[in-house]
């Protein structure tokens, strides 16, 4: 089996930014800000955008709001990047219904998180993902994130799913290098780091790139890191990885990722506010101070 990253990529590219969802001060979708952010992220080097994934607060969006976000981003990027719809849920029928609406809007692929809370067996997970891939003729990226979903996708399950013609990719946020190595060696899936801090080591063993929350605030630096790995410039890649470490801590450690990213985007002047939907809340003073302290250690990599 050919396991080189260059032969794996089937169209989503290497840097995929998991967009946050901008809200107005009243808490409704801000589709104008959504369009501006999407175009900014593409101009900064994102090959694809995940819309209404975890970072996009999909769990508090209605189906109609999800669809409005897909439409706004598709219109904004005008084909300059792929649009991947975050439509995963713990209800197979609901996921299929939303995936069909996403397909009708013209998205390029689907991100399907492992069903959460109801803790299905591996057989149930296999049936869930196969049913969706059978029903909606779009490329699927599986999202293995057991610390949120409550269950992992076992390597054997991923390998079985990889034989489906519509299942193209894996966002790997499990942190199990042995399992990832098995998937890379036994499938042609495009594997992406789903943990911002692990893009360098995962690319070293054959991953295509990164699906990133932190790239909302530093896409150019992640682009440089990925390009350095591709060029075989390990010294540059290692330096950038170290420089990004405090930024990744700032977005992923003190508060939930979307909360931190929106806060930083607001501080950067990119978003007019940092509003999130309940049960998420904005950082309190102590949390904001911790985020600022980490940001102070990033040097000039963000503005």
- Known catalytic residues are 143, 171
Q: Are 98 and 68 in contact (CB under 8 A)?
A: no
Instruction: Read off the pLDDT band of 4 (50, 70, 90).
Output: very low
Measured in Å, how far apart are the chain's first and last C-alpha atoms? Answer: 44
Over residues 246-278, the pLDDT tens digits come to: 999 999 999 999 999 999 999 999 999 999 999
The Cα–Cα gap between 231 and 233 comes to: 5
The dihedral formed by the CA atoms of 287, 291, 296 and 300, expressed in degrees to the nearest 10: -160
Nearest to 29 by CA among 82, 68, 59: 68
**Averaged pLDDT for residues 31-43:** 98
Please give the structure tokens belonging to residue 10: 């089937």
User: For the ranges 4-8, 108-112, 238-242, 289-293, which has the lowest average pLDDT?
Assistant: 4-8
- Which residues does 186 contact at the CB level (< 8 Å), separation at least 6? 1, 159, 162
| Token code pair at residue 152 | 């992992």
pLDDT for position 149: 84
128 in Cβ contact with 120 (< 8 Å):
yes
Tokens of 133: 């891939």
3-class secondary structure, 275: coil
0.75 surpassed by pTM: yes
**84 neighbors 46 (Cβ within 8 angstroms):** no
Burial of 239 (0-12, 13-18, 19+ CB in 10 A): middle
Note whether 294 and 246 are within 8 A (CB): yes
Helix axes 92-105, 122-135, angle to 10 degrees: 30
Q: Kindly report the backbone phi and psi dihedral angles of residue 23, in degrees, each rounded to the nearest multiple of 5, phi listed first.
A: -120, 155
* Structure token digits, residue 190: 């495009």
| pLDDT band at residue 303 under the 50/70/90 scheme | low
- pLDDT tens by residue, 151-205: 989 999 999 999 999 999 999 999 999 999 999 999 999 999 999 999 999 999 9
Give CA–CA dist 131/145, Å, rounded. 20
CB distance 147 to 139 below 8 Å: no
Among residues of the chain, what percentage have pLDDT more than 70? 95
- Helices (DSSP H) in 9-54: which residue ranges? 31-43
Residues 6+ apart with CB under 8 A from 284: none
pLDDT digits (tens, 9 = 90+) for 47-82: 999 999 999 999 999 999 999 999 999 999 999 999
Residue 280, judged by CB atoms within 10 A of its CB (0-12, 13-18, 19+), counts as middle
- As a whole number of angstroms, the distance between CA 198 and CA 221 comes to 15
């Amino acid at each position: 089996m050919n396991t080189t990253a260059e032969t794996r990529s089937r169209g989503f590219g290497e840097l995929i930014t998991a967009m946050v969802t901008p809200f107005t001060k009243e808490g409704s979708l801000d589709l104008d800000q959504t369009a501006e952010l999407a175009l900014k992220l593409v101009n900064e080097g994102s090959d694809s955008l995940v819309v209404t994934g975890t970072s996009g607060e999909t769990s508090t969006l209605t189906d109609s709001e999800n669809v409005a976000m897909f439409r706004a981003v598709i219109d904004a990027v005008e084909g300059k990047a792929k649009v991947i719809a975050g439509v995963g849920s713990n209800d197979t029928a609901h996921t299929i219904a939303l995936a069909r609406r996403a397909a009708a809007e013209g998205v390029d692929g689907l991100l399907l998180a492992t069903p959460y809370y109801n803790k299905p067996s591996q057989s149930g997970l296999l049936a869930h993902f196969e049913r969706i891939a059978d029903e909606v003729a779009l490329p699927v990226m599986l999202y293995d994130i057991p610390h949120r979903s409550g269950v992992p996708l076992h390597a054997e399950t991923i390998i079985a799913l990889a034989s489906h013609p519509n299942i193209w990719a894996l966002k790997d946020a499990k942190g199990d290098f042995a399992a990832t190595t098995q998937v890379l060696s036994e499938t042609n899936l495009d594997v992406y780091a789903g943990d911002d801090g692990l893009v360098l080591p995962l690319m070293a063993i054959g991953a295509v790139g990164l699906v990133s929350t932190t790239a909302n605030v530093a896409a150019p630096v992640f682009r440089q890191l990925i390009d350095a790995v591709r060029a075989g410039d390990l010294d540059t890649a290692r330096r950038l990885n170290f420089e990004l470490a405090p930024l990744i801590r700032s977005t992923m450690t003190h508060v939930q990722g979307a909360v931190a990213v929106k806060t930083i985007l607001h501080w950067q002047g990119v978003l007019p506010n940092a509003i999130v939907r309940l049960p998420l809340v904005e950082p309190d003073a102590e949390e904001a101070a911790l985020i600022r302290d980490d940001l102070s250690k990033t040097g000039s990599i963000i503005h």
